[in-house]
Amino acid sequence: QEPGEVQVPAGAEVSLGCQVLLAELWEMLWLEWVKEARQGVLCALRLRPSTPALAQPCAPNASHPRLAWRPPRATLSLRPASEDDAGRYLCRVILEI
């Protein structure tokens, strides 16, 4: 996950990256971006190895934040960042067997 820590002024753009590297073949994985445990999941994708690159808003009818998948990397974009976006973010990957 990168960057490790970043400070961004309100109105600026920020992208948080998560690289998914697996040593074995997989059929399905669940990728989530979480903002501080008490606020829950911001974005989630269910992916197959054949899933093409994609970009989408994290909520219907919203443009902020956005999640992009370009194998093997997931990027959460906050454009423009607001004061409400301040906090800790975690990329969580769950491999489904």
Rounded distance between C-alpha atoms, residue 81 and residue 97, angstroms:
36
> What pLDDT, on the 0 to 100 scale, is given for residue 37?
65
Structural domain contains residue 2: no
Read off φ and ψ for residue 45, nearest 5 degrees. -135, 140
Structural domain contains residue 76: yes
> What pLDDT, on the 0 to 100 scale, is given for residue 2?
80
Structural domain contains residue 8: no
Assign residue 23 a region (left: φ > 0; alpha: ψ between -120 and 50; beta: otherwise). Answer: alpha
Structural domain contains residue 3: no
pTM of structure? 0.85
Condensed to tens digits (0 to 9), the pLDDT of residues 8-43 reads 888 889 999 999 888 778 889 999 999 886 778 889
- Domain span at residue 89 reads 14-61+71-96
Give the number of domains in the chain: 1
Q: Could you tell me which residue, 95 or 62, shows the higher pLDDT?
A: 95
Structural domain contains residue 1: no
Structural domain contains residue 45: yes
Condensed to tens digits (0 to 9), the pLDDT of residues 37-92 reads 677 888 999 998 889 999 999 887 667 889 999 988 999 998 888 888 888 899 99
